[in-house]
Amino acid sequence: MTLNALLFQALNGLSSASSLFLVAAGLSLIFGVTRIVNIAHGSLYMLGTYIAYSLAMHIGGALGFWGGIVATAVVVGILGALIEIVLLRRIYRAPELFQLLATFALVLIINDAALWIWGPEDLLGPRAPGLRDAIEILGRHLPTYDLFLIFVGPVVLIAMHLALARTRLGRLVRAATQDREMVGALGVNQAILFTVVFALGSALAGLGGALQVAREPANLSTDLTAISDAFVVVVVGGMGSIGGAYLAAVIIAEVKALCIGIGVLHIAGMALNFSKLTLVAEFLVMAIVLIVRPYGLLGRVQAAVRSIAEPEEPIRAATPTFKLFATAVLVILIFMPLLARNSPYTLVLGIDVLIAVLFATSLHFIMGPGGMHSFGHAAYFGLGAYGAALLVKWLGAPMSVALIAAPAVALAGGLLFGWFAVRLEGVYLAMITLAFAQIVWALVFQWEELTGGSNGVIGVWPPPPFDKSGFYFLLTLALTALGVFLLRRFLFAPFGYAMRAGRDSPLRAEAIGIHVKRVHWLGFAIAGCVCGIAGGLFAFAKGSISPETIHVQRSIDGLVMVLLGGIQTLTGPIVGASLFATLQDTVMRQTEYWRALLGGIILVLVLAFPGGIVGAFTRLFTKRAAVT
């Protein structure tokens, strides 16, 4: 590997940094002012590529390409404004997590809309008119378009900096980033400010996507990749810092480029393949940065947004009616294998639902009472699943041993990752949990010798009598009921109270001798451990597992389940998980556009039941009680 080759890779890195920056800058701008973490930002980027492709193909020529790119930015900006006016404006006062959920619903809807309009094939756009050639630099050929991209990033950075520093709108944006309530109190029309900022941020995402049209094909999976890349960049650079975003984009793109450039390196007889690191490189960078600088490279401690979420009711021990109801449900479930003798599908669905319940309840344990919004709970599910499956595969371990190992492996993961995670708060905590989940995913994906890589592990079947779905259902029911019962018990015990105390008021909790970080750390580990049981059960239920098990999609499914049911209630995750898993297994299978359907359902729920389903019921009953 020569120095020239390294430098050349560094140039390549710079051109990738520009598009990373465009997406991230828009996200950062929107977050700074509206405090909304817009997951649909990646979808706007994806739409940018598709729209630019269509314009370039239909109009053609330089006008179609270059004019198309500008037009795309405008169109996506308008779309962003529409999204803000129609949807987000209704939920600014909702809890932060609900906003996440709503924007996630948009991801699903936009993805299916793109599938409907452009179809499932990858679409490769034309090469840029006027910049088709490559020039020779350092003895290699660099496409002139890449060279052009290298300059786009800094130009946009400077333009944004000037706009923020010199214009009236820029001053308002900076003021709102520091204290939006004060800006509102000074008589600024927040509604218009928010819409404009959202439109600008969206236009940047659209521009970023459009510029990719000559480099990479339009693809339906770019929405999630773009948003996770953008998140990493924003978090590394510091939320709300545009300069930080560029710095972070450069660092991450360079690290990735260098990993590819270095390739396989032989150190002391060991072959180390650096190019394999690209999948985790950005998450490693993020984990390191967050540990050293918890608010990002150029970020500052966030001014606390005065809490606008509805306060939580004190938890009450189960009433006799509730106990009776729970027992009745449990009894019906125990007789399920008999009742559903003739419909094996019902039992399979039942197993899926039970596993989802355990998964969601363990996530709720840290999200609700712990106040730690984990975006990477799939990691512990995956650790449990792989822990069990690999024991069976390599050591021929019996199911009983594998099912004990599953929570143990997940507990170890929870202890390790949790130790870092509890040092952070809010969005930063969410992002580092996501980073850890991605690292686990990449590890599983790339360590083919051990895990089978993308093929996964097959042949993980339960021994008789559990090979009959009726018996496996009962086993799943027993472990799920045990897990849910234990977690509930912990929440009513001093430990659960201490966890809530640390969430409600960390200062006050420390002032009465509670080691808040340690309590939250152990809570994190307990949740991981219980989630591992769900993972182990999943492996034997499916007979095979793949890296899909740990995919970010699963983490988000968990969030949706918890929020659907209602985060402030203890039965919420159970109801939410049951509903979600049932919908996923039944309605979703009926249509090609299940994502949009799910997104639509989520939006309705978010707008109609901001306290989740169980929360809505509770309120209904308390109102009734107040009337009578």
Partner 1 sequence: MSDLSIRALSKAFGGVHAVREVSFVIERGEFLAMIGPNGAGKSTCFNMINGQLAPDSGEILFENRNIAGLRPREIWRLGIGRTFQVAATFHSMTVVENVQMALISHAGETYHLWRPAAELHRAHALDLLQQVGMRDAADKPSRVLAYGDVKRVELAIALANEPRLLLMDEPTAGMAPRERNELIALVKRLVVERGISVLFTEHSMDVVFAFADRIIVLARGRLIADGTAAAIRDNPKVQEVYFGTGKTFAAKASP
> Which residues bind to partner 1, rule: CB under 8 A?
311-315, 317, 489-490, 492-498, 500-501, 503-505, 507-515, 519, 522
Query: Reduced to 3 states, what is the DSSP secondary structure of residue 141?
Result: strand
The answer, yes or no, to whether the previous bond of 494 is cis (omega within 30 of 0) is no
CB of 306 to partner 1, least distance (A): 13
CB of 315 to partner 1, least distance (A): 8
> Do 48 and 208 contact (CB within 8 A), yes or no?
yes
Q: What torsion do the CA atoms of 23, 298, 287, 503 make, to the nearest 10 degrees?
A: -100
- Helix intervals (H) in 60-189: 61-62, 68-86, 96-118, 144-166, 168-178, 180-185
Min CB(508)–partner 1 separation in Å: 4
Q: Pick between residue 345 and residue 621 the one whose CB is nearest to partner 1.
A: 621
Residue nearer to partner 1 on the CB measure, 76 or 525: 525
Give CA separation, 584 vs 210, 472, 556, 561, in Å.
Answer: 33, 21, 14, 11
Contact predicate 374/557, CB 8 Å: no
| CA end-to-end span of the chain | 81
Buried b (16+ CB within 10 A) or exposed e, 537-572: bbbbbbeebbbebbbbebbbbbbbbbbbbbbbbbbb
Nearest-CA neighbor of 423 among 500, 509, 499, 517? 517
Residue 66 carries which DSSP code? I
The token duo for 598 is: 């799910």
**45 vs 151: CA distance, rounded Å:** 19
Grouping H, G, I as helix, E, B as strand and the rest as coil, residue 270 is: strand
